[in-house]
Chains A and B, each alone.
Chain A
Amino acid sequence: KAGVTQTPRYLIKTRGQQVTLSCSPISGHRSVSWYQQTPGQGLQFLFEYFSETQRNKGNFPGRFSGRQFSNSRSEMNVSTLELGDSALYLCASSLGRGPTNEKLFFGSGTQLSVL
């Protein structure tokens, strides 16, 4: 079974631009979560989607948004990029909904650099 796939692997953008990151979960997984990872800050929760609905959201500004498609693939968008948005963005999928389904499987991440 294929793992969680994130594209692109690396991105370089300039301030003010916008960016879209993509995540394909493991087949059969319906929950997709997004995390921002920076040195010293660990894994900061962005949002979580299940069956095309955003169920949970972290404490990030409205410039960060996402969506999930009917095939469970998810995209994350960041508008009006700032230097502080430079980070590794990790996507994780799980079966979702209920005990024993919580194990997260992470993708390799998208390394975003904002110049």
Chain B
Amino acid sequence: GENVEQHPSTLSVQEGDSAVIKCTYSDSASNYFPWYKQELGKRPQLIIDIRSNVGEKKDQRIAVTLNKTAKHFSLHITETQPEDSAVYFCAAMETRYDKVIFGPGTSLSVIP
């Protein structure tokens, strides 16, 4: 079955700097890669996703890149703000099966 690894497990950055979180997946059949953000005490929420036929996707300060050959994808957050502090989960899914497998998460702290 699918296995998703995620690095780093914790990340601290100064406000205004960029943050990068990297994930790898094992199942080459996976074709959908969402990222979820979970603020302290709240439920996870989708922030961006990418499909296997796309190499990069941007939404304001966040972007995701995908390398299908290497089976890894990354989340990039630019101009970080304190409200970006949260746990970020990457995930992989093969869309014929509604089974989303998550990475272990990255705790991001943005220091004002």
Q: Which residues of A contact B93 (CB under 8 A)?
A: 102
Residues in B whose Cβ lies below 8 Å from that of A33: 98-100
Contacting B97 at CB < 8 Å: which of A40, A56, A90? A56
Contact of A90 among B44, B49, B103 (CB under 8 A): B44
User: What are the residues of chain B within 8 A of A109 when measuring CB–CB?
Assistant: 43
Chain B hits for A99, CB < 8 A? 32, 51, 95
A48/B98 contact (C-beta < 8 A), A42-B104, A42-B105, A102-B34 known: yes
Whether B89 is near chain A, meaning CB under 8 Å from some CB there, is yes
Whether A43 touches B98, Cβ cut-off 8 Å, given contacts A99-B51, A102-B93, A103-B34, is no
- The one of B44, B101, B105 in contact with A106, judged by C-beta atoms closer than 8 angstroms, is B44
Q: Which residues on the B side are within 8 Å of A102 (C-beta)?
A: 32, 34, 49, 93, 95, 98, 100
User: Any chain A CB within 8 A of the CB of B46?
Assistant: yes
Give every chain B residue within 8 A of A48 (Cβ-Cβ). Answer: 98-99
Could you tell me the distance between the alpha carbons of A109 and B34 in the complex, rounded to whole angstroms? 20
Indicate whether B45 reaches chain A with its CB closer than 8 angstroms.
yes
Does B25 touch A at the CB level, under 8 Å?
no
- The answer to whether B46 and A104 have CB atoms under 8 Å apart is yes
A86 CB within 8 Å of chain B = no
The verdict on A27 contacting chain B, using a C-beta distance below 8 Å, is no
Does B73 belong to the interface (CB within 8 Å)?
Answer: no
Q: How far is the CB of A57 from chain B (nearest CB, A)?
A: 9
Given contacts A43-B89, A102-B34, contact A94 B98 (CB under 8 A): yes
| A70 proximal to B (CB < 8 A) | no
Is B97 a contact partner of A55 (Cβ separation < 8 A)? Answer: yes
The answer, yes or no, to whether A97 is at the interface (CB within 8 Å) is yes
A-B contact pairs, 18 of them (CB 8 A): A33-B99, A42-B89, A42-B104, A42-B105, A43-B44, A43-B89, A45-B102, A50-B98, A56-B98, A56-B99, A90-B43, A90-B44, A92-B100, A104-B44, A106-B44, A106-B45, A108-B43, A109-B43
